[in-house]
Structure 1
Amino acid sequence: MTNVNTLIKGANVLGIELNKDEIDSFILYKELLKEWNQKINITSITDDEEIDIKHFIDSITPLSTDLFAEDVRMIDIGTGGGFPGIPLKIINRDMEVVLLDSLKKRITFLEDIIDKLALEKIFPIHGRAEELGRDKNHREKYDIAISRAVASLNTLSEYCLPFVKVGGFFISMKGPDVDEELKEAEKSIKILGGNLNDVKVVNLPLSDITHSLIIIEKIKGTPTKYPRGGGKPKKKPL
């Protein structure tokens, strides 16, 4: 039972009261994550309590912003094992979620999770952000683009901001030291139609970990030439 307590306690610290269905969903998610992780590499975090803190609780910290109305449409870019998209969906069932990842094996894993957790209005998509960001079905169609992916903010901004509709937000989930990255990304954020709205520092409950939520508002449309293809956002950030 201790593991469930970690999850419940951590969520409580964030002001979130988990109900029985949500707790059961997280328990099943964790079992499947560990099971699949023996077949394909999804996460290096395999300890029960660490999964609760570093994956589940960390993933729901964005709910401490007031951006998650019930009917928002969100895309999670570079979702990996479904973080933060699936934990956010478990708690906010009404929101529509797209999980984007470039690895087909991970998409198969995510389809299994969605099926076993009986989640609706959540769609795993196999693809690359720089291609999907040009697709008219996805470009500037989301209230929120979120990413916990490991890349510099100027690169992530080019991958994520094209998905966000004007008036929506890009949330980049980062470590504690973001000042340098913010400085380097200033130009790219502006070019892509964004404006830094807030940096929320989050102390991860039941740990000594500090994270930052960088919240960028989309104030005007992204110029059509972005995102650039051929890995340019990474190789030659704006």
Structure 2
Amino acid sequence: MNIEQFQQELKGRGIDLSELQLQQFETYYSLLVEWNEKMNLTAITDKEEVYLKHFYDSISAAFYFDFTKPYKLCDVGAGAGFPSIPLKICFPGLHVSIVDSLNKRITFLEQLASSLNLSNVSFYHDRAESFAQNPEHREKYDVVMARAVARMSVLSELCLPLVKPEGHFVAMKAASTGEEMEEGKKAIFLLGGKVEQIHPFLLPEEDSERNIITIKKVKPTPKKYPRKPGTPNKTPIE
């Protein structure tokens, strides 16, 4: 996906990027490739692939969820900034917090935010489990997101404790989610969530399947969740 296709595809979805925003994506790409030589941020470095599989793919959440409000958004395990930084470029009113367990990635993200002149972005070097037990962050976010981090039963335990009641957890998944959603049903309910919608769609050009899952927080998460770092992965709620 070249820049013109990227711009046109988004325009067709009602997201009209300015010259400044397009330049921010160009800078993002340059820094991603530059830093990727020093540390492992992504296996994808071809420009057209980055625009399709990282930038466009991240923004696709906005086709099914309204990011035009000044939400407090938390991105769990964002890695190189996906999906929250592309969304922040498109919707500058968002207040973005990123939590990641690798300090080197946080250093990259801080440099990226500075180079892109992004305001209202914060970065936290922490495990999602301990971050969600911190009273300053627990149930404080309007929207919590994760893109391809873990299975839904695990992801729900990492993300739903951060969502304020009536807020949303938006999970971005690649392949078919039927079995995974079935497995994660108990965890979602136990942690206070209710599945609102699952939006399947195909990524342009390569027609690979993607799913945007929106889960509403309908009741507070029991205090004991999330459990200690590593536990959700080892013994998911079943």
TM-score normalised over the length of structure 2:
0.96
Give the fraction of aligned pairs with identical amino acids, expressed as a percent. 43
CA RMSD across the alignment: 1.2
Match of 2:127 in 1: 128
Match of 2:185 in 1: 186
- After TM superposition, the structure 1 stretch with the greater mean CA deviation from structure 2, 146-155 or 44-53, is 146-155
Q: What is the Cα deviation at residue 7 of structure 1?
A: 2.0
Q: What is the Cα deviation at residue 67 of structure 1?
A: 3.3
Read off the aligned partner of 1:53 and give its amino acid letter: L
SS at match of 1:60: helix
Q: Deviation digits for residues 70-114 of structure 1, max 9, x if unmatched? A: 210100000000000100000111110001110000000000100
Match of 1:11 in 2: 10
Contact 2:200–2:212 (CA under 8 A) maintained in structure 1: yes
List gaps (5 residues or longer) in structure 2. Answer: none
Q: Deviation digits for residues 29-64 of structure 1, max 9, x if unmatched? A: 000000000000000001100000000000001111
Read off the aligned partner of 1:175 and give its amino acid letter: A
Query: In the aligned structure 1, how far is the partner of 2:66 from the partner of 2:166?
Result: 11
Match of 1:203 in 2: 202
Query: In the aligned structure 2, how far is the partner of 1:144 from the partner of 1:172?
Result: 10
Read off the aligned partner of 2:3 and give its amino acid letter: V
Contact 2:127–2:229 (CA under 8 A) maintained in structure 1: no
Match of 1:87 in 2: 86
Q: Deviation digits for residues 142-201 of structure 1, max 9, x if unmatched? A: 000000033110000000000000000101100131000000000000000000100011
- After TM superposition, the structure 1 stretch with the greater mean CA deviation from structure 2, 61-70 or 218-227, is 61-70
Q: What is the Cα deviation at residue 208 of structure 1?
A: 1.2
Read off the aligned partner of 1:109 and give its amino acid letter: F
Query: In the aligned structure 1, how far is the partner of 2:14 from the partner of 2:206?
Result: 16
Query: In the aligned structure 1, how far is the partner of 2:72 from the partner of 2:105?
Result: 22
Q: What is the Cα deviation at residue 124 of structure 1?
A: 1.3
Correspondences of 1:67-86 after superposition (within 5 Å) = 67-86=66-85
Match of 1:20 in 2: 19
Q: What is the Cα deviation at residue 229 of structure 1?
A: 0.5
Query: In the aligned structure 1, how far is the partner of 2:66 from the partner of 2:208?
Result: 23
Match of 2:101 in 1: 102
Read off the aligned partner of 1:216 and give its amino acid letter: I
Task: Count the aligned residue pairs.
Answer: 237
Query: In the aligned structure 1, how far is the partner of 2:10 from the partner of 2:147?
Result: 19
Contact 2:169–2:215 (CA under 8 A) maintained in structure 1: yes
Read off the aligned partner of 2:96 and give its amino acid letter: V
Match of 1:152 in 2: 151
Contact 1:73–1:96 (CA under 8 A) maintained in structure 2: yes
Match of 1:175 in 2: 174
Match of 1:235 in 2: 234
Query: In the aligned structure 2, how far is the partner of 1:11 from the partner of 1:52?
Result: 12
Contact 2:176–2:209 (CA under 8 A) maintained in structure 1: no
Tell me: CA distance 1:14–1:209, structure 2 relative to 1, closer, same or farther (3 Å): farther
Query: In the aligned structure 1, how far is the partner of 2:161 from the partner of 2:68?
Result: 21
Match of 1:63 in 2: 62
SS at match of 1:46: coil
Contact 1:154–1:189 (CA under 8 A) maintained in structure 2: yes
SS at match of 1:158: helix
Read off the aligned partner of 2:222 and give its amino acid letter: P
SS at match of 2:166: strand
Contact 1:74–1:98 (CA under 8 A) maintained in structure 2: yes
Contact 1:176–1:201 (CA under 8 A) maintained in structure 2: no
